[in-house]
């Protein structure tokens, strides 16, 4: 696949990388009860069972069926059940139907996983073409994306349960704050190079590297905190149309939005649902689970703005990032010379390049070794179940 | 509760009845995997976990909290989680949200069940007032209704799974045919007595017994079979508006209905999803899983009609019934002198008496000792997931 | 048409009847501006242009095309444009699309009307078969039904206009009160004859006349007044679920219903939109524009109930009626031996006999000579734009 | 308003410009019947009555009420009725409710128009501050935008009428083809200046003028023709997911889209609804009334792409444009240093800068003197009722 480049010199490590990534998914599953693998409370959220089966399906469908000569599929119906959105491969379960399936059981899905792992390890022990290596690396990055979704989706599922269950007692990490140094960074305008370059993996949407002309701009060192966001709320931010995009204000009113997702007022105190259960809101932590509309309205209220994705990338060496995905004011569009791969892999990114906004950085739920300065994440403007925050620019 | 009468002379048996009914629910659960307890693929269908918790909740909420002096509830949040539609008792989980809840686990719900069973048995060992006896009998009849729903709901859940799982290998019973004697019965018009009378339990909607004037009519001895229904289909029954109610024809077109629920054509052959998996359609079995609209259109096509619920009751001694709930052409309305009980029990039936049609008889999924000639079942005209069939009249 | 009987001995009057009824429609149009003929603010409401064209279309399609040998249709596209719901006759304008059509102009529709009137008068001057006479009588009754709809629909259209336009200055009549004699009537149970009998026209749904067994009952002489309904509101009637059908209470909450349609509170005072504009609520007038749900909840609050349609008919000689259509607690179902006519006329009534409630009586908007004790009107439970009121029984 | 610049030296002409623009609106109205002013067949389309009242309201609300000392408003309720989306000014008629209003009559709206024109001419005869001049120029440009909407909206309204009415017999102009010179233009990359500069009016969204770095690119001299688009259709373009954005393909399937808006196949021949009625499709005319999704899928099928708005502006001197608005692959976002004006005028553009795509050029329906190379039009991706076409780039 032309758009993805792997490191040529570390061929020995691909088996180890495979085992490490696959093992991390299993660690994420440890705190779950069997029942937890099933529900899908909203269409954007996938059940854990689906996430762990789908990442396995990717290796079976894209790699084993094509590159492992004698491979016999584990179950001929799983291709239909665990395809996500690849039209090239055939029909698939309706996306909003994933939570309706009690079978195969969780035990069967883990057996499927072990079966595919075994066959993959056999394949990885042999000689691998460059095309195959690229696909395996893509499969691992795909699994890492689903590791983050595993956490964000399951957090959402727990949040709709009036019992407010805890995912993991020692998992406060993902909601942690940051050391606030404060201040801003000044960047001088001119031509900047944007997009991925060098060795290692990147997604096709990070290419090609190209020149962009930027104006002078200022960008904040820190993310906006819960304390600052509370000020916005208390100043009537959600009821003053002047701060909002027209469709953002409609969204606020139709959905009766008055705070970030997971905030809950109980007896006059502000709580926040976390993977460690319902806890008091931590004022100095960066605000989280806000939509693009909210991020943008907050910036307007502050008489600032969100950075573009190009500004963000040009400045990202100069501030800390990785706690929250950061909404930019850039729409998700192709870079110059962007081209889709042939076949199913070509459906990975390109077909989503309309009506979504770019997020940059990474979040506390992003798995290790899965972030870089040129990474382009993207979501629809109203979505909030990712760990999304706000950095201001001017 | 005035509308419910229990047999005065068999007080000794109430404990035994309680244990029998509660044990039957557990038998229904035996073939299930843990995962099966969770999904709710459509709002009308409840997850098995909810069904077994809700029937338990009924005894806790309506009986133990009021009549067992020192009763401590098992879990203070279950009242909210497992209330169905009793506004008197407080807020409750949104009905379409029941499948989103992985917790409490199935094991915890069974523990809840055992806890309540134990307390109920203690209570049943003591002296019981008539009011209390009536409530317990109501609770048992309520649980029996949910036993039927357990099967119909779970059948629906399995049916949306492309794997077509089997509930129970030796459970073909519920789809069985009948001996077809054929022929019709003539009933002479005049005044007939309708409604429950005598000893034993009945629901409030079966009272008061009252006089109804009927015209002469003819009613079929047998239910309409799959073979007869196939003729209707092949004659273009679903595309000819003349046979249909106006809103029935809209329903057919909007939902692209062309056969009873669970029918599936595979390779030119007609299959039928059953609790024993996908099987070839049995032509001599009574047609099942049809809506009121379909039952009515079929009758129109046959130049017959559906009986009223009064005709049905007046003739029911003269034919066999119990394989399928039988749609009547009667709307679900109160009998003369119907009155709701005070409090939560009063919400049991009366508030549903608009825009639903009455079904009479019972089905193969109805538990033992839960059917009688005066029983009034009711569903909305388009619903099909119950075991519903057609008997013709003229 | 078997279900309709005309008076044999007044053949001479059919031409006169035709002219009288058709002229009445034109009188109703007098206060309208050209613009008023167009809008359709909700799907249940038809634009005046459609009403006057559709009643004309009925005569053209059902009578002139079949019985006037050399008849040439006025415009070949009007058949499609002005068919209401007769599937037998072919496709038609989508019902919610009627307000989108500026053409044909109002002047063209009046020309169409004059053209058809002329041809009809020619036809009426000749010898008429009984079948033809029956159809013409049906056409006139059809037009009379649309005269009432003309007023109720146009009232609704004016009501959504913030200018609150007046239909007719001296038209307070349709909102008038009644002399309140008070008191109740006792009716003794037993067998009663229900349904139309005798000379003159009736609709097929009033047949056959048949016996019904009624219990003893009491029925109010007067309709419920605005003053009484205000008491219900002030007693929290709209917020107490105990008075409501389950789906009625959902309807109240989803639509934020808190008063009858057209009531409006301005500066603490209760106003009411009428065909004479916005006016202060007249406390002693019968409450109007309530849904079946509201009528039923009011009765429950009063510890009374609505009469059945059979009770109403049995008692109707003993009280005044005609100011408001009166909701009964009877579902709209066929009488014994009901049968639909062949062809398009058979679609008039039968196909609506599910999920609607019967109203009895007539309203102030009902045209002269279009009411009788056996008349069965029917609407869906939530609808309120007709002149609907409440009479209580016990 | 800082973002709008007027020519300093032609002060004398503002009165004349006012009269010219206002007269053009009246000319557009000439072919209409009174009935035509009322319907609103879909929410995006406004009735002609609303368009002509709203443009008048703009002058009354934004100018006369603030700058004409003794101005008395024509009708105090018109402010509510004819506000479009300016939250600053107060509540307004629901946008989808505009077609429900028969009053005020068309005659009254024309009287309103004449009244405001008279007062405006009085004001224009005096000394005007620069702020006032800017507002008047803005009001004229606003009216010109509504002149285009008048035609596109009314075309849509006529198109849903099965009579296919003609707007104007000699109005084929707006559907005319172009002389096809063919070929492409090569543009060399580097820094380009984008945005408005110089004398005369521009909208705030065209500012500030700024530098953009472009790669080398090629752009077509001609728009895509109907003939070329037919090839795409015949090659299965609408059924092959590979050409489509994911949400574009969903849009195609949910709405059963298979051709541009207004195309209609009758008896095997391809027709096209125009302002001159239903006519045979002209193969050499530029394709019109396509959505962004269709434009983008067509480009993908051609192995080309849509230009960005920056590429378009950089090349626009080198090809003819003005027949169709041209979809670009740029999202509608603010230019560097974009800033909204204070007050209601600030709502003009900025609040729509999310989830819309930019169109460049102008169309045959754009009024005279209302187009320029830097003009940024914007619509949602699925919308098709504007005169939208396709220019390819690479």
- H or E segment and range at residue A127: none
Q: Is residue A278 one of the residues assigned to a domain?
A: no
Question: Model pTM?
Answer: 0.94
The β-bridge relationship of strands D325-331 and D388-389 is parallel
B363 and B236 in a common domain: yes
Are B97 and A160 a contacting pair at CB < 8 A? Answer: yes
**DSSP state for residue B286 in the 8-state scheme:** B
Our CA dihedral for C243, C247, C248, C254, rounded to 10 degrees, sits at 120
- A 10 A CB-CB count for B13 gives 11
- Residue D279 in 3-state DSSP? strand
Token pair 């001088």 is found at: A188
pLDDT value at D223 more than 80 = yes
B145 and B241 in a common domain: no
List residues of chain C with CB under 8 Å from any CB of chain D: 33-41, 49, 77, 80-81, 93, 97, 99-106, 157, 160-163, 165
Domain extent, residue D357, equals 184-260+286-389
Q: How confident is the model at residue D341 (pLDDT cuts 50, 70, 90)?
A: confident
pLDDT digits (tens, 9 = 90+) for C65-121: 999 989 999 999 998 899 876 777 666 667 778 999 999 999 999 999 999 999 999
Subunits close to A (at least 3 CB pairs below 8 A): B, D
Q: What is the pLDDT of residue C90?
A: 64
Q: Select from C213, C247, C381 the Cβ nearest to the Cβ of B212.
A: C213
Q: Give chain B's mean pLDDT.
A: 92
pLDDT digits (tens, 9 = 90+) for A144-184: 999 999 999 999 999 999 999 999 987 755 555 555 678 99
Q: Is residue B151 one of the residues assigned to a domain?
A: yes
Q: Is residue A271 one of the residues assigned to a domain?
A: no
Q: How confident is the model at residue B8 (pLDDT cuts 50, 70, 90)?
A: very low
Is B26:B366 a contact under the CB 8 Å cutoff? no
Q: What is the pLDDT of residue B2?
A: 32
A190-195 long-range Cβ contacts below 8 angstroms, 24+ apart: A190/A214, A191/D191, A191/D213, A192/A310, A192/A313, A192/A314, A194/A310, A194/A313, A194/A314, A194/A335, A194/A374, A195/A335, A195/A374
CA angle D350, D355, D361 (to 5 degrees): 70
Q: Is residue D274 one of the residues assigned to a domain?
A: no
Residues with Cβ within 8 Å of residue C277, at least 6 apart in sequence: C164, C165, C166
CATH number for the domain spanning A370: value is: 3.90.1580.10
- In chain B, the number of structural domains is 2
B93 and B227 in a common domain: no
B82 and B28 in a common domain: yes
SS (H, E, C) B356-381: CEEEEECCCCCCCCCCCCCCCEEECC
Q: What is the pLDDT of residue C95?
A: 78
Q: Give chain A's mean pLDDT.
A: 92
pLDDT value at A131 more than 90 = yes
Rounded Cα distance between C68 and C60, Å, is: 9
Subunits close to B (at least 3 CB pairs below 8 A): A, C
Q: Residue D388 forms beta bridges with which residues? A: D325
Q: Residue D225 forms beta bridges with which residues? A: D286
| Final residue belonging to a domain, choices A144, A159, A174 | A159
Q: Select from D213, D353, D357 the Cβ nearest to the Cβ of A245.
A: D353
Rounded Cα distance between B124 and B117, Å, is: 10
The two tokens of residue B180 are 């077809």
Q: Is residue C201 one of the residues assigned to a domain?
A: yes
C291 and C353 in a common domain: yes
Rounded Cα distance between B292 and B313, Å, is: 18
Q: How confident is the model at residue A7 (pLDDT cuts 50, 70, 90)?
A: very low
State which residue of chain D sits closest to A87, comparing Cα positions: D241
Rounded Cα distance between C357 and C366, Å, is: 19
Q: Select from B39, B80, B104 the Cβ nearest to the Cβ of A102.
A: B39
User: C136: distance to nearest CA of chain D, Å?
Assistant: 29
pLDDT value at A20 more than 80 = yes
Rounded Cα distance between A136 and A66, Å, is: 12
Q: Is residue D144 one of the residues assigned to a domain?
A: yes
CATH number for the domain spanning D49: value is: 1.20.120
State which residue of chain D sits closest to C42, comparing Cα positions: D100
Are A100 and B160 a contacting pair at CB < 8 A? Answer: yes
pLDDT value at C12 more than 60 = no
Is A238:A290 a contact under the CB 8 Å cutoff? no
Mean pLDDT across A133-146: 96
Rounded Cα distance between B340 and C270, Å, is: 34
Q: What is the pLDDT of residue D349?
A: 83
Is D30:D155 a contact under the CB 8 Å cutoff? no
B381 and B293 in a common domain: yes
Are A103 and B77 a contacting pair at CB < 8 A? Answer: no
Token pair 């035990």 is found at: A107
| Final residue belonging to a domain, choices D106, D126, D159 | D159
User: B266: distance to nearest CA of chain A, Å?
Assistant: 16
State which residue of chain C sits closest to B211, comparing Cα positions: C213
A225 and A98 in a common domain: no
pLDDT value at A351 more than 90 = yes
A79 and A215 in a common domain: no
Are C247 and B337 a contacting pair at CB < 8 A? Answer: no
Rounded Cα distance between D96 and D82, Å, is: 13
- Residue C193 in 3-state DSSP? strand
pLDDT digits (tens, 9 = 90+) for D53-93: 999 999 999 999 999 989 999 999 998 899 876 777 666 66
Rounded Cα distance between A364 and A322, Å, is: 6
Q: How confident is the model at residue A301 (pLDDT cuts 50, 70, 90)?
A: very high
- Residue A279 in 3-state DSSP? strand
Is C210:C193 a contact under the CB 8 Å cutoff? yes
- A 10 A CB-CB count for D372 gives 14
Is C360:C388 a contact under the CB 8 Å cutoff? no
Q: What is the pLDDT of residue D3?
A: 35
User: CB burial class (10 A; 0-12, 13-18, 19+) of residue C255?
Assistant: exposed
Question: Which residues in chain A have their CB less than 8 angstroms from residue B98's CB?
Answer: none
The two tokens of residue B64 are 């133990």
Is B165:A103 a contact under the CB 8 Å cutoff? yes
Q: Is residue A170 one of the residues assigned to a domain?
A: no
Q: What is the pLDDT of residue A343?
A: 76
Q: How confident is the model at residue B87 (pLDDT cuts 50, 70, 90)?
A: confident
Rounded Cα distance between C366 and C362, Å, is: 6
- For the ranges A340-349, B380-389, D198-207, the lowest mean pLDDT is seen at A340-349
Question: Which residues in chain C have their CB less than 8 angstroms from residue D153's CB?
Answer: none
Distances (CA, A) of C315 to C29, C187, C310: 36, 7, 9
C190 and C155 in a common domain: no
- A 10 A CB-CB count for C126 gives 9
Q: What is the pLDDT of residue D342?
A: 75
| Final residue belonging to a domain, choices C159, C194, C220 | C159
Q: Which of C250, C304, C331, C346 to mutate to test the interface with B (most CBs of B within 10 A)?
A: C331
Calculate what percentage of chain D has a pLDDT beyond 90.
85
Question: Which residues in chain A have their CB less than 8 angstroms from residue B36's CB?
Answer: 102-103
Q: What is the pLDDT of residue D183?
A: 92
Are B351 and C210 a contacting pair at CB < 8 A? Answer: no
Are A103 and B33 a contacting pair at CB < 8 A? Answer: yes
Are A39 and B160 a contacting pair at CB < 8 A? Answer: no
Subunits close to D (at least 3 CB pairs below 8 A): A, C
Are D241 and A87 a contacting pair at CB < 8 A? Answer: yes
B189 and B147 in a common domain: no
Q: What is the pLDDT of residue A5?
A: 42
Q: How confident is the model at residue B263 (pLDDT cuts 50, 70, 90)?
A: very high
The two tokens of residue C40 are 């359709």
- Residue C170 in 3-state DSSP? coil
Q: What is the pLDDT of residue D95?
A: 79
Mean pLDDT across C54-66: 96
Are A246 and D337 a contacting pair at CB < 8 A? Answer: no
**DSSP state for residue A218 in the 8-state scheme:** E
- Written as one string, the DSSP assignment of A140-189 is HHHHHHHHHHHHHHHHHHHHTSTT---S-TT-GGGG--------EEEE--
Mean pLDDT across C181-189: 91
Are B102 and A33 a contacting pair at CB < 8 A? Answer: yes
Token pair 């019947």 is found at: D33
pLDDT value at D10 more than 60 = no
**DSSP state for residue C305 in the 8-state scheme:** B
A154 and A188 in a common domain: no
Is D357:D332 a contact under the CB 8 Å cutoff? yes
Q: What is the pLDDT of residue C216?
A: 98
Q: What is the pLDDT of residue D11?
A: 56
User: C371: distance to nearest CA of chain B, Å?
Assistant: 26
pLDDT digits (tens, 9 = 90+) for D224-255: 999 999 999 999 999 999 999 999 999 999 99
Q: What is the pLDDT of residue B83?
A: 86
List residues of chain D with CB under 8 Å from any CB of chain A: 85, 87-88, 191, 210-213, 215, 241-242, 244-249, 292-293, 296, 329-331, 333-334, 336-337, 346, 351-355, 357, 381
Rounded Cα distance between B355 and B334, Å, is: 12
Mean pLDDT across C297-315: 98
Mean pLDDT across B307-327: 97
Q: Which of A40, A102, A160, A385 to mutate to test the interface with B (most CBs of B within 10 A)?
A: A102
Q: Is residue D344 one of the residues assigned to a domain?
A: yes
Question: Which residues in chain A have their CB less than 8 angstroms from residue D212's CB?
Answer: 213
Q: Give chain D's mean pLDDT.
A: 92
Rounded Cα distance between D341 and B257, Å, is: 56
The two tokens of residue A228 are 């600052």
D384 and D299 in a common domain: yes
pLDDT digits (tens, 9 = 90+) for C315-346: 999 999 999 999 999 999 999 999 887 777 77
Rounded Cα distance between B375 and C144, Å, is: 44
Question: Which residues in chain C have their CB less than 8 angstroms from residue D49's CB?
Answer: 35
Q: How confident is the model at residue A79 (pLDDT cuts 50, 70, 90)?
A: confident
């Amino acid at each position: 696949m032309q758009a993805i480049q792997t490191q040529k010199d570390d061929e020995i490590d691909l088996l180890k990388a495979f085992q490490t990534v696959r093992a991390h998914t299993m660690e994420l599953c440890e705190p779950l009860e069997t029942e937890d693998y099933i529900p899908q409370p909203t269409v954007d959220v996938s059940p854990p069972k689906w996430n762990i089966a789908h990442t396995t399906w990717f290796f079976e469908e894209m790699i084993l069926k094509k590159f492992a000569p004698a491979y016999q599929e584990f179950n001929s119906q799983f291709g239909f059940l665990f395809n996500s959105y690849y039209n090239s491969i055939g029909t698939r379960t309706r996306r909003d139907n994933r939570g309706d399936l009690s079978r195969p059981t969780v035990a069967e899905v883990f057996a499927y996983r072990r079966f595919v792992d075994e066959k993959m390890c056999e394949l990885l022990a042999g000689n691998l073409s460059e095309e195959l290596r690229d696909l395996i690396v893509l499969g691992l990055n795909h699994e890492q994306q689903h590791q983050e979704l595993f956490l964000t989706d399951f957090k959402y599922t727990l949040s709709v349960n009036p019992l407010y269950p805890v995912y993991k007692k020692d998992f406060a990490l993902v909601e942690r704050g940051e050391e606030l140094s404060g201040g801003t960074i000044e960047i001088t305008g001119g031509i900047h190079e944007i997009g991925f370059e060098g060795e290692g993996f990147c997604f096709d949407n990070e290419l090609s590297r190209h020149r962009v002309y930027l104006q002078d701009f200022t960008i904040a060192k820190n993310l906006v905190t819960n304390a600052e966001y509370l000020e916005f709320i208390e100043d009537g931010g959600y009821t003053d149309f002047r701060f909002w995009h027209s469709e953002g204000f409609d969204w606020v009113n139709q959905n009766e939005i008055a705070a970030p997702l997971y905030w809950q007022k109980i007896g006059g105190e502000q709580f926040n649902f976390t993977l460690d259960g319902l806890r008091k809101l931590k004022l100095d932590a960066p605000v989280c689970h806000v939509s693009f509309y909210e991020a943008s309205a907050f910036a307007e209220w502050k008489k600032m703005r969100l950075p573009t994705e190009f500004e963000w990338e040009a400045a990202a060496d100069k501030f800390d990032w990785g706690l929250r995905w950061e909404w930019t004011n850039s729409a998700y569009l192709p870079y110059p010379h962007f081209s889709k791969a042939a076949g199913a892999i070509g459906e990975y990114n390109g077909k989503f390049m309309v009506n979504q906004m770019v997020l940059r950085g990474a979040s506390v739920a992003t798995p290790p070794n899965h972030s870089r300065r040129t990474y382009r994440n993207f979501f629809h403007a109203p979505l909030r179940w990712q760990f999304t925050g706000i950095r201001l620019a001017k």
